[in-house]
Structure 1
């Protein structure tokens, strides 16, 4: 199990629209091979900063299977116009816990 963590900074004043777009996109992730959970976290101290956390079985499920799919294109169509800068994406695995 791996976690995709995408740091996303959006345009000022677009939070509600961005969150609505992410909510629309959740089913796209959940039907992807290897995806079992999607959460969007809003940073309390910086309202335009978010972390998208997605649980995948493998990095390849995210980086190959999902990223090369039509559903990924739809995800970007739903939310891409709200990005202030391109998201920074990393992957992590549980070390303790």
Structure 2
């Protein structure tokens, strides 16, 4: 499993609108093959900051399957206008500590 993490900084005054748009956008990402789940966390210290975590079966499910899909174009149209600056997206895998 791959964990995608993106820190989202939302423009001031647009958090409620962003959350409504995110609700509309969520089924788009959920429809992609290899998608395993996602969550959006709201920062307690900074009202305009969110953490998006998405679980993927494999890295390519995100970087190719989602990013090259029609659903991603809709996702961009719904959400990208809220970001300032545009978020860096990173991918993580579990560390085996045994």
Aligned length: 97
* Per-residue Cα deviation, 1:35-83 (whole angstroms, up to 9, x for no partner): 0101111111011111111100011000011001110111111111111
Residue 31 of structure 1 is matched in structure 2 by: 31
Secondary structure of 2:85's counterpart equals coil
Instruction: Calculate the aligned-residue CA RMSD, in Å.
Output: 1.2
Structure 2 residue runs of 5 or longer lacking an equivalent are none
Structure 1: gaps (5+ residues): none
2:44 aligned residue: 44
What CA distance in whole angstroms lies between the structure 2 residues aligned with 1:94 and 1:50? 22
Following the alignment from structure 2 to structure 1, what is the Cα–Cα distance between the partners of residues 49 and 12? Answer: 10
Which position in structure 2 is the counterpart of 1:54? Answer: 54
Larger radius of gyration: 2
TM-score (norm 2): 0.93
Match of 2:82 in 1: 82
Q: Normalising to structure 1: TM-score of the pair?
A: 0.94
Matched with 1:95 is: 95
Match of 1:18 in 2: 18
